[in-house]
Amino acid sequence: MSKFNRKLELIDGLETDYLRILYYDFSKPYQGTYKSYEYNRLCTIINGAKKVRVNDSEFFTYNEREFIILPPNSSINLEINIPTKALVVEIFNTLIDNITKKVSFEFETDFSSTTNKIFSGTEKSPFLNMIIEKILQTATSSDKNREFLMDLYAQEMTYNLLKTQYLQEMLGSQSNNFTQLAIQMMKNNLLENITIDKIAHSFHMSPANFSTKFKNATGLPPNKYLTNLKLLNAKTQLKTKNVTEVAFDLGYENISHFIHLFKDKFGATPKQYVLKQNN
């Protein structure tokens, strides 16, 4: 990608159970703003440099093999003056919560109550660079198990960040955020015909008000977000079920509509996707 656009991120980003990989290639100078939305973002430079300001902080520059971690819902002003390639890893809160519990148990310390603060500086870490390189190489490979491997690396990365208390305030639990609870409700009820109206009602909100708040936090309407989750789940189900079974499981009685949605998101029909995976 050559610009920050949430719709493009959600379409072009490579997503696993634990993270989303976003690759940016700025060949020309660029100025703009973007948000970190609902997830912590680990941002690193492959080549080049970025000058950024996080919320109300001062501008600072970070360069190749340096990284910053942005807490959710941050606003970033960005300047790029030289050709720059950058990698962003959105770390899903499911992973953070799981690793937080493990680290809390190991050190007999409750990390879940940590407060997110703006990290307005740069860091270097040989270990982290090694893990990021593994994630990047795996993401660009044709390995059938690449998503599984990327999640393993994501667990290793997050565990070590928290274990060493390295920016662990950035990685605190977001379980009290209604957006995260709504997303978790979607994920837990994909096969139960969950609807946006039902989710909104559980928060004692009107569907319109819920949809507005959800889109402000995630950059996407909740019905579209739910559709994306269903289609990602479909990829897993297609390993053991046929197209009709998967469509019905996910609440799509119109098979043609399901196939259209799948192809629009992944660039191939469900059958084409299965054939590609089996080759």
Q: Going by C-beta distance under 8 Å and a sequence separation of 6 or more, which residues neighbour residue 186? A: 194, 199, 222, 225, 226, 229
136 domain-assigned: yes
- Given the structure tokens 């690193």, which residue do they identify? 44
Looking from the CA of 220 toward its CB, the CA atoms found within 13 Å total 19
Residues 205, 198: Cα–Cα separation, whole Å: 10
Average pLDDT over residues 38-44: 87
Residues 199, 183: Cα–Cα separation, whole Å: 9
**Average pLDDT over the chain, rounded to an integer:** 83
| Highest mean pLDDT of the ranges 1-15, 58-72, 214-228 | 214-228
CATH of the domain at 133: 2.60.120.810
Is residue 195 classed as helix, strand or coil in its secondary structure?
Answer: coil
126 by Cβ neighbours in 10 Å (0-12 / 13-18 / 19+) ranks as exposed
Residue where a domain terminates, one of 128, 156, 171? 171
Looking from the CA of 45 toward its CB, the CA atoms found within 13 Å total 22
**Residue 108 pLDDT level (bands cut at 50, 70, 90):** low
| Highest mean pLDDT of the ranges 108-122, 124-138, 166-180 | 124-138
Residues 34 and 149 in one domain: yes
CATH of the domain at 213: 1.10.10.60
Residues 25 and 70 in one domain: yes
pLDDT value of residue 94: 87
pLDDT value of residue 80: 92
**Residue 113 pLDDT level (bands cut at 50, 70, 90):** very low
Residues 25 and 135 in one domain: yes
Residue 188 has pLDDT above 80, yes or no: yes
Residue 237 has pLDDT above 50, yes or no: yes
Higher pLDDT residue, 203 or 147? 147
Least confident span in 74-78, 118-122, 199-203 = 118-122
Residue where a domain terminates, one of 135, 154, 171? 171
**Residue 167 pLDDT level (bands cut at 50, 70, 90):** very low
| Highest mean pLDDT of the ranges 159-173, 176-190, 264-278 | 264-278
Residues 234 and 218 in one domain: yes
Residues 52 and 70 in one domain: yes
pLDDT value of residue 107: 57
Domain count, the chain: 2
Higher pLDDT residue, 40 or 115? 40
Residues 12 and 42 in one domain: yes
| Domain coverage including residue 215 | 178-278
Residues 39, 33: Cα–Cα separation, whole Å: 17
Average pLDDT over residues 4-25: 85
Residue 53 has pLDDT above 90, yes or no: no
pLDDT value of residue 111: 54
Higher pLDDT residue, 202 or 140? 140
Model-level pTM? 0.64
Residues 45 and 20 in one domain: yes
| Residue 198 C-alpha from the chain's centroid | 24
Looking at residue 156, its amino acid is E
Least confident span in 1-5, 218-222, 248-252, 253-257 = 1-5
**Residue 169 pLDDT level (bands cut at 50, 70, 90):** very low
1 domain-assigned: no
pLDDT value of residue 263: 94
